[in-house]
């Protein structure tokens, strides 16, 4: 396929097959459920509309994401509004429109005063000591998580009292916890906390929202069936499957694996120390936080070359550390060869900077055809909203 590189490709069959596995796992273990697609993980308009068509709610965490959901046609009420940076207007509108709104901070409790009492129903995000329950697996082992109301120091209990004093119904519990491991232990802990808190506070919950953070589409990692079976077993001890919905908010698990990034070798350069293979892709497009040490990749060679002990594969930016990986004992790469990076759909396109080059083309591959769903950005798009006449 001779499309102009660099570009991303969304493999629609892989996406849909993987999503179906998730849906089946949920249906098997807790069919009274909602899947909220996490916009932040990849909010490409085609992607968010596709998940809407698959029946997902939109999981959003800012006024911009909230309005984006409305702009792509998400039905009223099919939004899950989370996070600390909601605006008052969209917060109140979302509640009145019947969205699922999970409060994260004190200011949101204050905002509830202006709502008529009959509309006062929210979910509450709990902050708990996940490191203690799953040593070595949390993201911030020393300082702890920063979202929601802390259970251990009594802030959660205070928030519950404040809500009850205002006649606010606590309709749901939000327990999203990002982890380093994405392991089953994390979801055992989350389900356990939900049960413990239910017992202590005697909630009458419409939903338990366990958040995202799962693996998906990777055969060597925990499978959807395992996550759902485990949580359902624990939760069913204290919650009635008919009465309380299970909400999940996957991002990475549903959009990570089915996207690849295609690049071309544009130059090969030898220095005193190394062979550098320069490509028209960039590390900023598949690892914008420059945190990964390896990438799933494959080659499309045009011809045969000698095996070389080491080639350093580089990106197009002028940053020295825009080096993607070292090809060790691999055939020599030549201009025109392609390098494809796999499983790069999560926290990539949405975090890439507009640095030196702008956003690349995106295609959807469906039935052997490539359909363009985003045109690469040019200076015209970059200039949008700039004000040059002062």
Ligand X SMILES: Cc1ncc(COP(=O)(O)O)c(C=O)c1O
Binding site for ligand X (CB under 6 A): 38, 41, 59, 82, 176, 178, 211-214, 249-253, 346
CA distance 248 to 270: 50
Dihedral Cα 294, 300, 305, 308, nearest 10 deg: 0
Q: Which two tokens stand for residue 163?
A: 């809500």
Pick between residue 249 and residue 361 the one whose CB is nearest to ligand X: 249
Rounded least distance, CB 18 to ligand X, Å: 13
CA distance 348 to 283: 10
CA distance 28 to 153: 37
E strand or H helix that includes residue 209: strand 207-209
CA distance 224 to 220: 12
Pick between residue 187 and residue 363 the one whose CB is nearest to ligand X: 187
Pick between residue 232 and residue 247 the one whose CB is nearest to ligand X: 247
Nearest to 340 by CA among 278, 258, 262, 257: 262
Pick between residue 100 and residue 324 the one whose CB is nearest to ligand X: 100
The DSSP output letter for 360 is P
Pick between residue 104 and residue 337 the one whose CB is nearest to ligand X: 104
Nearest 5°: the CA angle 301, 9, 22 is 120
Q: Which two tokens stand for residue 114?
A: 């202006």
Pick between residue 234 and residue 254 the one whose CB is nearest to ligand X: 254
Rounded least distance, CB 84 to ligand X, Å: 10
Rounded least distance, CB 54 to ligand X, Å: 16
Rounded least distance, CB 279 to ligand X, Å: 27
Pick between residue 101 and residue 253 the one whose CB is nearest to ligand X: 253
Look at residue 249 and give its three-state secondary structure.
Answer: coil
Look at residue 90 and give its three-state secondary structure.
Answer: helix
E strand or H helix that includes residue 25: helix 12-30
Pick between residue 222 and residue 251 the one whose CB is nearest to ligand X: 251
The residue sitting closest to ligand X, measured at its beta carbon, is 251
CB atoms within 10 A of CB 289: 9
Rounded least distance, CB 178 to ligand X, Å: 5
Rounded least distance, CB 371 to ligand X, Å: 25
Rounded least distance, CB 345 to ligand X, Å: 10
CA distance 20 to 14: 10
Look at residue 286 and give its three-state secondary structure.
Answer: helix
Rounded least distance, CB 210 to ligand X, Å: 9
Question: φ and ψ at 270, to 5 degrees?
Answer: -105, 135
CB atoms within 10 A of CB 234: 18
Q: Which two tokens stand for residue 250?
A: 């996957």
Rounded least distance, CB 227 to ligand X, Å: 11
Pick between residue 64 and residue 326 the one whose CB is nearest to ligand X: 64
Dihedral Cα 360, 365, 371, 374, nearest 10 deg: -30
């Amino acid at each position: 396929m001779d499309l102009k590189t660099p570009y991303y490709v969304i493999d629609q069959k892989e996406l849909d097959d993987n999503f179906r596995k998730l849906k089946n796992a949920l249906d098997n273990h807790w069919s009274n459920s909602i899947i909220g697609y996490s916009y932040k993980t990849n909010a490409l308009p085609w992607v968010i509309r596709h998940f809407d068509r698959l029946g997902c709610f939109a999981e959003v965490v800012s006024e911009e994401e909230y309005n984006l959901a409305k702009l792509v046609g998400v039905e009223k009420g099919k939004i899950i509004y989370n996070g600390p940076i909601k605006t008052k207007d969209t917060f109140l509108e979302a509640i009145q429109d019947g969205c699922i709104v999970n409060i994260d901070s004190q200011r949101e409790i204050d905002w509830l005063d202006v709502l008529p009492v009959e509309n006062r129903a929210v979910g509450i995000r709990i902050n708990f000591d996940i490191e203690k329950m799953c040593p070595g697996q949390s993201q911030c082992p020393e300082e702890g998580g920063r979202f929601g109301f802390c259970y251990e120091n009594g802030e959660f209990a205070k928030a519950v009292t404040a809500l009850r004093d205002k006649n606010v119904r606590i309709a749901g519990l939000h327990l999203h916890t990002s982890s380093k491991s994405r392991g089953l232990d994390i979801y055992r802990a989350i389900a356990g906390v939900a049960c413990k808190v239910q017992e202590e506070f005697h909630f009458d919950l419409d939903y338990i929202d366990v958040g995202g953070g799962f693996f998906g589409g990777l055969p060597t990692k925990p499978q959807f069936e395992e996550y759902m079976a485990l949580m359902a077993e624990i939760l069913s001890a204290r919650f009635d499957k008919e009465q309380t919905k299970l909400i999940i908010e996957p991002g990475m698990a549903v959009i990570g694996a089915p996207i690849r990034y295609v690049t071309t070798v544009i130059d090969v350069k030898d220095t005193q120390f190394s062979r550098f293979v320069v490509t028209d892709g960039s590390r900023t497009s598949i690892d914008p936080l420059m945190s990964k040490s390896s990438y799933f990749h494959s080659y499309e060679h045009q011809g045969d070359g000698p095996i070389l002990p080491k080639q350093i594969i580089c990106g197009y930016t002028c940053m020295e550390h825009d080096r993607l990986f070292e090809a060790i004992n691999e055939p020599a790469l030549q201009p025109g060869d392609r390098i494809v990076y796999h499983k790069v759909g999560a926290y990539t396109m949405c975090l890439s900077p507009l640095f030196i080059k702008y956003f690349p083309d995106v295609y959807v591959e469906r039935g052997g055809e490539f359909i363009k769903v985003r045109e690469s950005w040019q200076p015209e798009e970059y200039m949008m909203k700039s004000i040059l006449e002062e």
